[in-house]
Amino acid sequence: MKNLLFACFILGSTNVIRAQEQEPVWSLADRQNLINGLVTSQSAVLKEVEHLNEEQMYFKPDSSQWSVAEVIEHIGVYEELLYWDLMNNQYTEERRDLVNAVKGIDSVMVSYATDPNKGQSPFVAQPMGRFKNKEELMCFFNRFRNEVISLVQTTKTDFRLHFIFRPPDWGVWHIRDLHQYTLLWIAHTERHLNQVKRIKSNPRFPN
């Protein structure tokens, strides 16, 4: 009888552990939070440039600063990069062992939107004047933002169990789950949206 009870205890414990291992970490609220952020920031970008003509789109405050068109191109390039990062890394191995290591850094990703430290765009994301006009440019941005939104809406992958890795000396940016990684690029869009507003407020901005 004792052996039977012990066997039942072991079996029960094993089932509990297996259930915990299968339990999703990425909640429905998490998913909706990303969708809301992606849609809202996309709409904000479109609204900000909706009535700008070609002269206004390509106006540069000075030779060292980007135009609105260059800012949007930069955002669009990162949308494409984000899409491929999410698409590819959703098929990596689940890493439940890393979940606790990145807890609490969602706010760091979100705060990037208003981080006063000016960064340097990597070569791959620098604007190159790839598009002939505003219509082509906005089509590029929307194409990949829409794909990212669709992926987040439909994926069966737990975004809290798959990770993006960067060099160890990147500190808090070293390891992030896919949810946090997407939060960062929502913040990235908002950060550059503020840049667009600053360009438009320049006294020499064309009427």
| φ, ψ (nearest 5 deg) of residue 89 | -80, -10
Whole-angstrom Cα Rg for the chain: 22
What average pLDDT does this structure show over 55-60? Answer: 96
Please report which residue ranges of 50-175 form alpha helices under DSSP H.
Answer: 54-57, 68-89, 106-111, 134-154
Q: Is the pLDDT of residue 2 over 90?
A: no
Q: Is the pLDDT of residue 6 over 60?
A: no
Which of 121, 30, 37, 28 is closest to 81 using CA atoms? 121
Q: What is the DSSP letter of 93?
A: P
Percent of the chain residues topping a pLDDT of 90: 82
CA angle 160, 194, 59 (to 5 degrees): 130
pTM: 0.86
Q: What is the mean pLDDT of the chain?
A: 91
Residues 77-133 pLDDT 10s: 999 999 999 999 999 999 999 999 999 999 999 999 999 888 788 888 899 999 989
Q: Is the pLDDT of residue 196 over 70?
A: yes
Exposure class string for 182-207: b at 16+ Cβ within 10 A, else e: bbbbbbbbbbbbebbeebeeeeeeee
> Which has more confidence, 9 or 207?
207
% helix / strand / coil in the chain, to the nearest 5?
65, 5, 30
| CATH fold label, 26-200 | Four Helix Bundle (Hemerythrin (Met), subunit A) (1.20.120)
Tokens of 81: 């990069």
Tokens of 92: 């990596």
Which of 128, 123, 135, 140 is closest to 57 using CA atoms? 135
Residues 142-184 pLDDT 10s: 999 999 999 999 999 999 999 999 999 999 999 999 999 999 9
Collapsing DSSP to helix, strand or coil, 165 comes out as strand
